[in-house]
Amino acid sequence: MSDSLVLAATQARENAHAPFSKFRVGAAVEDETGRIHTGCNVENATYGLTVCAERVAIFKAISEGARRFTRVAVVADTGTLTPPCGACRQILWEFCGDVEVVMANLQGKTESVRLGSLFPRAFDASFL
């Protein structure tokens, strides 16, 4: 994988805590300075308290002072590329806007889409 963002997400996936689903996901978000922030999914026995890789990466980036983002990568070990879930799409929209989302798997398959195509008519602060 030559894309540093996808590589970072792939490496973050190795840290996933997914003892129940075994569905390990890594994510990476690139801020406007080119810095890459990573995250992995962290499951909990109650399931409802599980946090997805994309949200971990965004929250980590925000906690480190990043505020503007250019790309997001999501990596899972699936034949069909895995997009962010609905909750992650909402968080990504609020913090990143119509960002490029790179979906990838461990076999090297990738696809890039704009978040707006995954999340049409998104709800955000403009409605408040």
The CA distance from 124 to 67, in Å, is: 16
Task: Look up the pTM and report it.
Answer: 0.95
Q: What is the pLDDT of residue 51?
A: 98
Fold category of 4-119 in CATH: Cytidine Deaminase; domain 2 (3.40.140)
Q: Contact, 92 vs 115, CB < 8 A? A: yes
What are 33-68's pLDDT values in tens digits? Answer: 999 999 999 999 999 999 999 999 999 999 999 999
pLDDT attached to residue 103: 98
Give residue-wise pLDDT tens across range 77-117.
999 999 999 999 999 999 999 999 999 999 999 999 999 99
Whether residue 54 lies in the annotated active site: yes
**pLDDT surpasses 60 at 1:** no
pLDDT at res. 2: 62
Domain-by-domain residue ranges, the chain? Answer: 4-119
Task: Compute the distance between CA of residue 122 and CA of residue 13 in angstroms, rounded to an integer.
Answer: 28
110 close to 103: Cβ distance less than 8 angstroms: yes
Whole-number pLDDT of residue 60? 98
How many C-beta atoms lie closer than 10 Å to residue 51's C-beta? 17
> Phi and psi of 24, rounded to 5°?
-90, 130
Q: Which of 14, 32, 54, 94 is catalytic?
A: 54
